[in-house]
Structure 1
Amino acid sequence: MTSLPDQFRAAARGAGATADDADLDSAAKYLLTHWAEPQRHYHDVTHLSAVLEVVDRFAGLAPHPDRVRLAAWMHDAIYDPKALGDANERDSAEFAQGLLVTLGVPEEVAAEVARLVGLTAGHATEENDPDGELLCDADLSILAADEERYARYAAAIRREYAHVPDGDFRAGRSRVLNELLKLPSIYRLAPIRDEWESRAQANLRAELEQLA
Protein backbone atom coordinates (compact mmCIF):
# COMPACT_ATOMS: atom_id res chain seq x y z
CA MET A 1 0.00 0.00 0.00
CA THR A 2 1.36 3.41 -0.95
CA SER A 3 2.29 5.54 2.06
CA LEU A 4 0.54 8.84 2.69
CA PRO A 5 3.69 10.91 1.98
CA ASP A 6 4.09 9.03 -1.31
CA GLN A 7 0.46 9.80 -2.15
CA PHE A 8 0.96 13.47 -1.35
CA ARG A 9 4.09 13.65 -3.48
CA ALA A 10 2.32 12.03 -6.45
CA ALA A 11 -0.66 14.38 -6.17
CA ALA A 12 1.57 17.43 -5.87
CA ARG A 13 3.56 16.39 -8.92
CA GLY A 14 0.33 15.79 -10.81
CA ALA A 15 -0.77 19.31 -9.93
CA GLY A 16 2.48 20.81 -11.23
CA ALA A 17 4.68 21.07 -8.12
CA THR A 18 8.33 21.76 -8.96
CA ALA A 19 9.81 21.30 -5.46
CA ASP A 20 12.21 18.40 -4.98
CA ASP A 21 11.10 15.15 -3.40
CA ALA A 22 12.64 16.01 -0.04
CA ASP A 23 10.60 19.20 0.21
CA LEU A 24 7.42 17.43 -0.83
CA ASP A 25 8.02 14.71 1.75
CA SER A 26 8.66 17.35 4.41
CA ALA A 27 5.41 19.09 3.50
CA ALA A 28 3.49 15.81 3.76
CA LYS A 29 4.98 15.03 7.15
CA TYR A 30 4.22 18.58 8.31
CA LEU A 31 0.61 18.18 7.23
CA LEU A 32 0.37 14.85 9.02
CA THR A 33 1.46 16.52 12.27
CA HIS A 34 -1.58 18.78 11.87
CA TRP A 35 -3.85 15.81 11.24
CA ALA A 36 -2.50 14.11 14.39
CA GLU A 37 -3.22 16.99 16.78
CA PRO A 38 -4.72 15.94 20.14
CA GLN A 39 -8.02 17.83 19.74
CA ARG A 40 -8.93 15.62 16.79
CA HIS A 41 -11.05 12.55 17.42
CA TYR A 42 -12.76 12.30 14.04
CA HIS A 43 -10.96 14.88 11.86
CA ASP A 44 -7.73 12.92 12.03
CA VAL A 45 -5.43 10.85 9.81
CA THR A 46 -8.05 8.11 9.57
CA HIS A 47 -10.51 10.63 8.11
CA LEU A 48 -7.87 11.93 5.70
CA SER A 49 -7.13 8.40 4.51
CA ALA A 50 -10.82 7.64 4.08
CA VAL A 51 -11.38 10.78 1.98
CA LEU A 52 -8.36 10.01 -0.20
CA GLU A 53 -9.60 6.45 -0.69
CA VAL A 54 -12.94 7.71 -2.00
CA VAL A 55 -11.24 10.24 -4.27
CA ASP A 56 -9.06 7.48 -5.69
CA ARG A 57 -12.03 5.17 -6.20
CA PHE A 58 -14.03 7.77 -8.13
CA ALA A 59 -11.13 9.73 -9.65
CA GLY A 60 -12.47 9.14 -13.14
CA LEU A 61 -15.46 11.37 -12.36
CA ALA A 62 -13.27 14.47 -11.89
CA PRO A 63 -11.25 16.29 -14.56
CA HIS A 64 -8.47 17.21 -12.09
CA PRO A 65 -8.25 14.40 -9.51
CA ASP A 66 -4.83 15.47 -8.23
CA ARG A 67 -6.22 18.88 -7.31
CA VAL A 68 -9.00 17.09 -5.46
CA ARG A 69 -6.45 14.92 -3.67
CA LEU A 70 -4.49 17.98 -2.58
CA ALA A 71 -7.71 19.63 -1.40
CA ALA A 72 -8.43 16.49 0.62
CA TRP A 73 -5.03 16.82 2.29
CA MET A 74 -5.68 20.48 3.05
CA HIS A 75 -9.39 20.62 3.86
CA ASP A 76 -9.00 20.09 7.61
CA ALA A 77 -5.35 21.08 7.89
CA ILE A 78 -6.43 23.77 10.32
CA TYR A 79 -8.96 22.37 12.76
CA ASP A 80 -10.01 23.93 16.05
CA PRO A 81 -13.36 22.70 17.40
CA LYS A 82 -13.71 26.01 19.25
CA ALA A 83 -13.44 28.09 16.07
CA LEU A 84 -16.49 30.07 15.01
CA GLY A 85 -18.39 29.75 11.75
CA ASP A 86 -16.33 28.80 8.73
CA ALA A 87 -13.00 29.87 10.26
CA ASN A 88 -11.41 26.43 9.98
CA GLU A 89 -12.24 26.12 6.29
CA ARG A 90 -11.13 29.67 5.52
CA ASP A 91 -7.88 29.21 7.40
CA SER A 92 -7.28 25.83 5.77
CA ALA A 93 -7.87 27.31 2.31
CA GLU A 94 -5.44 30.15 2.96
CA PHE A 95 -2.90 27.71 4.38
CA ALA A 96 -3.31 25.43 1.35
CA GLN A 97 -2.71 28.17 -1.16
CA GLY A 98 0.40 29.42 0.60
CA LEU A 99 1.92 25.98 1.08
CA LEU A 100 1.29 24.83 -2.47
CA VAL A 101 2.82 27.96 -3.97
CA THR A 102 5.97 27.38 -1.92
CA LEU A 103 6.10 23.87 -3.40
CA GLY A 104 6.06 25.26 -6.92
CA VAL A 105 2.44 24.52 -7.74
CA PRO A 106 1.26 27.12 -10.29
CA GLU A 107 -0.58 29.96 -8.58
CA GLU A 108 -3.82 29.38 -10.47
CA VAL A 109 -3.80 25.70 -9.47
CA ALA A 110 -3.03 26.56 -5.83
CA ALA A 111 -5.93 29.03 -5.90
CA GLU A 112 -8.23 26.36 -7.30
CA VAL A 113 -7.24 23.90 -4.56
CA ALA A 114 -7.97 26.62 -2.01
CA ARG A 115 -11.39 27.14 -3.60
CA LEU A 116 -12.11 23.43 -3.31
CA VAL A 117 -11.11 23.47 0.35
CA GLY A 118 -13.54 26.30 0.97
CA LEU A 119 -16.42 24.24 -0.40
CA THR A 120 -16.19 21.87 2.55
CA ALA A 121 -17.58 24.58 4.83
CA GLY A 122 -21.15 24.01 3.61
CA HIS A 123 -20.72 21.22 1.05
CA ALA A 124 -22.73 23.24 -1.45
CA THR A 125 -21.38 23.23 -5.00
CA GLU A 126 -22.35 25.09 -8.13
CA GLU A 127 -23.43 23.33 -11.31
CA ASN A 128 -20.70 21.82 -13.46
CA ASP A 129 -18.11 21.51 -10.70
CA PRO A 130 -17.19 17.81 -10.69
CA ASP A 131 -13.92 18.41 -8.82
CA GLY A 132 -15.81 20.16 -6.03
CA GLU A 133 -18.54 17.55 -6.06
CA LEU A 134 -16.04 14.72 -5.70
CA LEU A 135 -14.30 16.41 -2.78
CA CYS A 136 -17.56 17.14 -0.97
CA ASP A 137 -18.91 13.65 -1.61
CA ALA A 138 -15.68 12.11 -0.33
CA ASP A 139 -15.69 14.32 2.75
CA LEU A 140 -19.24 13.21 3.56
CA SER A 141 -18.68 9.53 2.79
CA ILE A 142 -18.80 8.67 6.51
CA LEU A 143 -22.50 9.56 6.53
CA ALA A 144 -23.22 6.42 4.53
CA ALA A 145 -21.29 4.13 6.84
CA ASP A 146 -22.81 1.06 8.47
CA GLU A 147 -24.58 1.55 11.80
CA GLU A 148 -21.60 0.64 13.99
CA ARG A 149 -19.11 2.84 12.15
CA TYR A 150 -21.56 5.73 12.04
CA ALA A 151 -22.05 5.46 15.80
CA ARG A 152 -18.28 5.66 16.30
CA TYR A 153 -18.18 8.73 14.07
CA ALA A 154 -20.96 10.47 15.97
CA ALA A 155 -19.27 9.68 19.29
CA ALA A 156 -15.95 11.04 18.00
CA ILE A 157 -17.62 14.29 16.94
CA ARG A 158 -19.08 14.62 20.43
CA ARG A 159 -15.59 14.18 21.94
CA GLU A 160 -14.26 16.95 19.71
CA TYR A 161 -16.93 19.21 21.12
CA ALA A 162 -16.56 18.08 24.73
CA HIS A 163 -16.27 21.74 25.74
CA VAL A 164 -19.87 22.38 24.58
CA PRO A 165 -22.68 21.70 27.10
CA ASP A 166 -24.90 18.80 26.13
CA GLY A 167 -28.00 20.86 25.35
CA ASP A 168 -26.07 23.29 23.17
CA PHE A 169 -24.34 20.43 21.38
CA ARG A 170 -27.61 18.68 20.63
CA ALA A 171 -29.07 21.88 19.20
CA GLY A 172 -26.00 22.69 17.11
CA ARG A 173 -25.53 19.17 15.84
CA SER A 174 -29.21 18.98 14.92
CA ARG A 175 -28.85 22.16 12.87
CA VAL A 176 -25.91 20.68 10.98
CA LEU A 177 -27.78 17.47 10.20
CA ASN A 178 -30.91 19.32 9.13
CA GLU A 179 -28.89 21.56 6.81
CA LEU A 180 -27.45 18.46 5.15
CA LEU A 181 -30.91 17.01 4.76
CA LYS A 182 -32.11 20.25 3.14
CA LEU A 183 -29.59 19.88 0.31
CA PRO A 184 -31.06 18.63 -2.99
CA SER A 185 -29.09 15.49 -2.21
CA ILE A 186 -26.25 14.77 0.21
CA TYR A 187 -24.13 13.38 -2.62
CA ARG A 188 -23.73 15.18 -5.96
CA LEU A 189 -22.10 12.71 -8.33
CA ALA A 190 -24.60 10.19 -9.66
CA PRO A 191 -22.61 6.96 -9.08
CA ILE A 192 -21.91 8.01 -5.48
CA ARG A 193 -25.45 9.22 -4.92
CA ASP A 194 -26.91 5.98 -6.24
CA GLU A 195 -24.72 3.93 -3.91
CA TRP A 196 -24.80 5.99 -0.70
CA GLU A 197 -27.68 8.47 -0.61
CA SER A 198 -30.39 6.35 0.97
CA ARG A 199 -28.08 4.99 3.66
CA ALA A 200 -26.78 8.46 4.54
CA GLN A 201 -30.30 9.89 4.75
CA ALA A 202 -31.30 7.07 7.10
CA ASN A 203 -28.24 7.62 9.31
CA LEU A 204 -28.88 11.35 9.62
CA ARG A 205 -32.53 10.89 10.48
CA ALA A 206 -31.69 8.22 13.06
CA GLU A 207 -29.14 10.51 14.71
CA LEU A 208 -31.64 13.38 14.75
CA GLU A 209 -34.08 11.14 16.59
CA GLN A 210 -31.41 10.31 19.17
CA LEU A 211 -30.59 14.00 19.62
CA ALA A 212 -34.24 15.04 20.07
Structure 2
Amino acid sequence: METTLANRWHQLTAPLLPDEAARTAMLTQLTKAYEAPGRHYHTLTHIRALLDAVDKAAAQLHDPAVVQLAVWFHDAVYEALRSDNEAKSAELAREFLATTSLSAERQARVAFLIERTHDHTQPQPPDDPDLLFFLDADLAILGASEARYQEYARQVRQEYRLVPGLLYRRGRRKVLQKLLEAPVLYHTPGFREQLDAAARRNLAQELRTL
Protein backbone atom coordinates (compact mmCIF):
# COMPACT_ATOMS: atom_id res chain seq x y z
CA MET A 1 0.00 0.00 0.00
CA GLU A 2 1.18 3.52 -0.72
CA THR A 3 2.70 5.25 2.28
CA THR A 4 0.30 8.14 1.84
CA LEU A 5 -2.67 5.88 2.54
CA ALA A 6 -1.01 4.43 5.61
CA ASN A 7 -0.24 7.95 6.80
CA ARG A 8 -3.84 8.95 6.29
CA TRP A 9 -5.03 6.02 8.34
CA HIS A 10 -2.72 6.77 11.26
CA GLN A 11 -3.45 10.51 11.17
CA LEU A 12 -7.15 9.70 11.36
CA THR A 13 -6.99 7.01 14.04
CA ALA A 14 -4.03 8.02 16.24
CA PRO A 15 -6.08 10.61 18.18
CA LEU A 16 -8.67 7.90 18.84
CA LEU A 17 -6.35 5.00 19.61
CA PRO A 18 -2.81 5.63 20.93
CA ASP A 19 -1.90 1.93 20.54
CA GLU A 20 0.02 1.96 17.25
CA ALA A 21 0.18 -1.82 17.08
CA ALA A 22 -3.62 -2.06 17.26
CA ARG A 23 -4.01 0.61 14.59
CA THR A 24 -1.51 -1.14 12.35
CA ALA A 25 -3.21 -4.50 12.82
CA MET A 26 -6.54 -3.03 11.67
CA LEU A 27 -4.87 -1.32 8.74
CA THR A 28 -3.28 -4.61 7.72
CA GLN A 29 -6.66 -6.34 7.89
CA LEU A 30 -8.28 -3.64 5.76
CA THR A 31 -5.42 -3.68 3.26
CA LYS A 32 -5.66 -7.45 2.82
CA ALA A 33 -9.41 -7.15 2.30
CA TYR A 34 -9.19 -4.44 -0.35
CA GLU A 35 -6.26 -6.13 -2.09
CA ALA A 36 -7.87 -9.59 -2.16
CA PRO A 37 -7.51 -11.39 -5.51
CA GLY A 38 -11.22 -11.15 -6.29
CA ARG A 39 -11.28 -7.37 -5.97
CA HIS A 40 -11.11 -5.32 -9.15
CA TYR A 41 -13.11 -2.16 -8.50
CA HIS A 42 -13.73 -2.25 -4.74
CA THR A 43 -10.04 -1.80 -4.01
CA LEU A 44 -7.74 0.67 -2.30
CA THR A 45 -7.96 2.81 -5.44
CA HIS A 46 -11.65 3.32 -4.69
CA ILE A 47 -10.86 4.14 -1.06
CA ARG A 48 -8.21 6.65 -2.10
CA ALA A 49 -10.63 8.37 -4.48
CA LEU A 50 -13.23 8.74 -1.75
CA LEU A 51 -10.71 10.02 0.78
CA ASP A 52 -9.56 12.60 -1.76
CA ALA A 53 -13.17 13.69 -2.23
CA VAL A 54 -13.63 14.04 1.53
CA ASP A 55 -10.45 16.09 1.82
CA LYS A 56 -11.68 18.51 -0.83
CA ALA A 57 -15.08 18.89 0.81
CA ALA A 58 -13.95 18.82 4.45
CA ALA A 59 -15.00 22.41 5.11
CA GLN A 60 -18.56 21.57 4.03
CA LEU A 61 -18.89 18.51 6.26
CA HIS A 62 -20.08 18.44 9.86
CA ASP A 63 -17.85 15.54 10.89
CA PRO A 64 -15.16 14.76 8.29
CA ALA A 65 -13.46 12.20 10.56
CA VAL A 66 -16.63 10.11 10.78
CA VAL A 67 -17.03 10.25 7.01
CA GLN A 68 -13.39 9.21 6.55
CA LEU A 69 -13.87 6.25 8.89
CA ALA A 70 -16.95 5.23 6.92
CA VAL A 71 -14.90 5.41 3.73
CA TRP A 72 -12.22 3.10 5.12
CA PHE A 73 -14.68 0.45 6.27
CA HIS A 74 -17.61 0.68 3.85
CA ASP A 75 -16.40 -2.05 1.45
CA ALA A 76 -14.18 -3.91 3.89
CA VAL A 77 -16.42 -6.95 3.50
CA TYR A 78 -17.28 -7.50 -0.14
CA GLU A 79 -18.38 -10.85 -1.49
CA ALA A 80 -20.15 -10.45 -4.81
CA LEU A 81 -22.77 -13.12 -4.18
CA ARG A 82 -23.79 -11.95 -0.69
CA SER A 83 -26.38 -9.33 0.23
CA ASP A 84 -25.08 -8.49 3.70
CA ASN A 85 -21.73 -6.91 2.80
CA GLU A 86 -22.68 -3.48 4.13
CA ALA A 87 -23.99 -4.92 7.40
CA LYS A 88 -20.81 -6.97 7.84
CA SER A 89 -18.62 -3.98 6.99
CA ALA A 90 -20.50 -1.86 9.53
CA GLU A 91 -20.05 -4.61 12.11
CA LEU A 92 -16.29 -4.65 11.52
CA ALA A 93 -16.19 -0.87 11.94
CA ARG A 94 -18.10 -1.12 15.21
CA GLU A 95 -15.73 -3.78 16.54
CA PHE A 96 -12.68 -1.64 15.82
CA LEU A 97 -14.20 1.65 16.95
CA ALA A 98 -15.30 0.08 20.24
CA THR A 99 -11.59 -0.08 21.13
CA THR A 100 -11.14 3.65 20.50
CA SER A 101 -12.10 6.83 22.32
CA LEU A 102 -14.66 7.75 19.65
CA SER A 103 -17.98 8.47 21.32
CA ALA A 104 -20.75 5.91 21.04
CA GLU A 105 -22.82 8.40 19.06
CA ARG A 106 -20.08 8.89 16.47
CA GLN A 107 -19.42 5.14 16.29
CA ALA A 108 -23.09 4.66 15.47
CA ARG A 109 -22.84 7.37 12.82
CA VAL A 110 -19.99 5.54 11.07
CA ALA A 111 -22.00 2.33 11.00
CA PHE A 112 -25.09 4.20 9.80
CA LEU A 113 -23.23 5.76 6.86
CA ILE A 114 -21.87 2.37 5.82
CA GLU A 115 -25.25 0.66 6.07
CA ARG A 116 -26.90 3.31 3.87
CA THR A 117 -24.70 2.27 0.94
CA HIS A 118 -26.68 -0.97 0.69
CA ASP A 119 -29.14 0.67 -1.72
CA HIS A 120 -28.31 4.06 -3.18
CA THR A 121 -31.79 4.38 -4.67
CA GLN A 122 -33.61 4.28 -1.33
CA PRO A 123 -34.98 7.58 0.06
CA GLN A 124 -32.36 9.39 2.12
CA PRO A 125 -32.72 11.89 4.97
CA PRO A 126 -32.68 15.31 3.28
CA ASP A 127 -31.13 17.03 6.31
CA ASP A 128 -27.99 14.88 6.57
CA PRO A 129 -25.34 16.54 4.38
CA ASP A 130 -22.52 14.23 5.48
CA LEU A 131 -24.51 11.14 4.49
CA LEU A 132 -25.62 12.65 1.18
CA PHE A 133 -22.06 13.67 0.31
CA PHE A 134 -20.73 10.22 1.20
CA LEU A 135 -23.33 8.46 -0.94
CA ASP A 136 -22.72 10.81 -3.87
CA ALA A 137 -18.95 10.36 -3.69
CA ASP A 138 -19.41 6.59 -3.61
CA LEU A 139 -21.39 6.79 -6.89
CA ALA A 140 -19.11 9.32 -8.59
CA ILE A 141 -17.73 6.58 -10.85
CA LEU A 142 -21.09 6.46 -12.67
CA GLY A 143 -20.48 9.94 -14.03
CA ALA A 144 -16.89 9.31 -15.10
CA SER A 145 -15.68 9.59 -18.67
CA GLU A 146 -17.05 6.98 -21.05
CA ALA A 147 -13.73 5.14 -21.15
CA ARG A 148 -13.37 5.09 -17.37
CA TYR A 149 -16.95 3.96 -16.92
CA GLN A 150 -16.42 1.10 -19.36
CA GLU A 151 -13.35 0.07 -17.37
CA TYR A 152 -15.44 0.18 -14.20
CA ALA A 153 -18.13 -1.99 -15.82
CA ARG A 154 -15.46 -4.55 -16.79
CA GLN A 155 -14.07 -4.50 -13.25
CA VAL A 156 -17.51 -5.19 -11.79
CA ARG A 157 -17.95 -8.09 -14.21
CA GLN A 158 -14.62 -9.51 -13.05
CA GLU A 159 -15.81 -9.36 -9.46
CA TYR A 160 -18.81 -11.45 -10.53
CA ARG A 161 -16.72 -13.76 -12.70
CA LEU A 162 -18.19 -16.87 -11.07
CA VAL A 163 -21.67 -15.89 -12.26
CA PRO A 164 -22.57 -17.28 -15.72
CA GLY A 165 -22.98 -14.67 -18.43
CA LEU A 166 -26.73 -15.04 -18.83
CA LEU A 167 -27.40 -14.70 -15.11
CA TYR A 168 -24.97 -11.82 -14.78
CA ARG A 169 -26.55 -9.85 -17.60
CA ARG A 170 -29.99 -10.40 -16.13
CA GLY A 171 -28.92 -9.20 -12.69
CA ARG A 172 -26.86 -6.32 -13.99
CA ARG A 173 -29.76 -5.10 -16.13
CA LYS A 174 -31.93 -4.94 -13.01
CA VAL A 175 -29.31 -2.89 -11.19
CA LEU A 176 -28.83 -0.47 -14.08
CA GLN A 177 -32.55 -0.09 -14.65
CA LYS A 178 -33.14 0.65 -10.98
CA LEU A 179 -30.46 3.35 -11.01
CA LEU A 180 -31.81 4.90 -14.21
CA GLU A 181 -35.34 4.97 -12.83
CA ALA A 182 -34.26 6.62 -9.60
CA PRO A 183 -35.55 10.20 -9.56
CA VAL A 184 -32.36 11.23 -7.76
CA LEU A 185 -28.93 9.75 -8.42
CA TYR A 186 -26.94 12.51 -6.73
CA HIS A 187 -28.32 14.32 -3.71
CA THR A 188 -25.90 17.24 -3.47
CA PRO A 189 -25.96 20.12 -5.98
CA GLY A 190 -22.28 19.86 -6.86
CA PHE A 191 -22.36 16.18 -7.74
CA ARG A 192 -25.72 16.50 -9.46
CA GLU A 193 -24.63 19.35 -11.71
CA GLN A 194 -21.30 17.75 -12.61
CA LEU A 195 -22.19 14.07 -12.94
CA ASP A 196 -25.91 13.33 -13.26
CA ALA A 197 -26.23 13.69 -17.03
CA ALA A 198 -23.03 11.75 -17.73
CA ALA A 199 -24.01 9.04 -15.24
CA ARG A 200 -27.36 8.48 -16.90
CA ARG A 201 -25.71 8.32 -20.33
CA ASN A 202 -23.19 5.77 -19.08
CA LEU A 203 -25.86 3.65 -17.41
CA ALA A 204 -28.08 3.70 -20.50
CA GLN A 205 -25.17 2.78 -22.73
CA GLU A 206 -24.17 -0.19 -20.58
CA LEU A 207 -27.78 -1.29 -20.45
CA ARG A 208 -27.91 -1.29 -24.25
CA THR A 209 -24.76 -3.42 -24.47
CA LEU A 210 -26.35 -6.05 -22.22
Question: TM-score, normalized by length of structure 1?
Answer: 0.91
Higher mean C-alpha displacement, 187-196 vs 52-61: 52-61
Matched residue type, 2:86: E
Residue matched to 1:5: 6
Is structure 2 residue 184 aligned with structure 1 residue 180? no
Matched residue type, 2:5: L
91, 94, 100: which is aligned to 1:94? Answer: 91
Query: Per the alignment, do residues 64 and 2 of structure 1 end up closer, same or farther by CA in structure 2, a change over 3 Å counting?
Result: farther
Q: 1:9 Cα shift?
A: 2.3
Residue by residue over 1:134-178, the C-alpha shift from the partner in whole angstroms, topping out at 9 and shown as x without a partner, is 111111111111111111110010011011111111111111112
Native 8 Å contact 1:174 1:208 kept in 2: yes
1:40-119 equivalence runs, <5 A:
40-83=39-82, 85=83, 87-119=84-116
- Structure 2 regions of 5+ residues with no counterpart? none
Native 8 Å contact 2:42 2:75 kept in 1: yes
Q: Secondary structure at the match of 1:186?
A: coil
Q: Structure 1: how far apart are the matches of 2:51 and 2:77?
A: 17
Residue by residue over 1:25-56, the C-alpha shift from the partner in whole angstroms, topping out at 9 and shown as x without a partner, is 33223211111111111111111111212222
Residue matched to 2:138: 139
Native 8 Å contact 1:23 1:103 kept in 2: no
Q: 1:2 Cα shift?
A: 6.8
1:120-199 equivalence runs, <5 A:
120-123=117-120, 124=122, 125-199=124-198
Q: Secondary structure at the match of 1:102?
A: coil
1:18-29 equivalence runs, <5 A:
18-29=17-28
Native 8 Å contact 2:67 2:110 kept in 1: yes
Q: 1:119 Cα shift?
A: 0.8
Native 8 Å contact 2:17 2:99 kept in 1: no
CA RMSD, 1 decimal: 1.7
- Structure 1 regions of 5+ residues with no counterpart? none
Native 8 Å contact 1:6 1:25 kept in 2: no
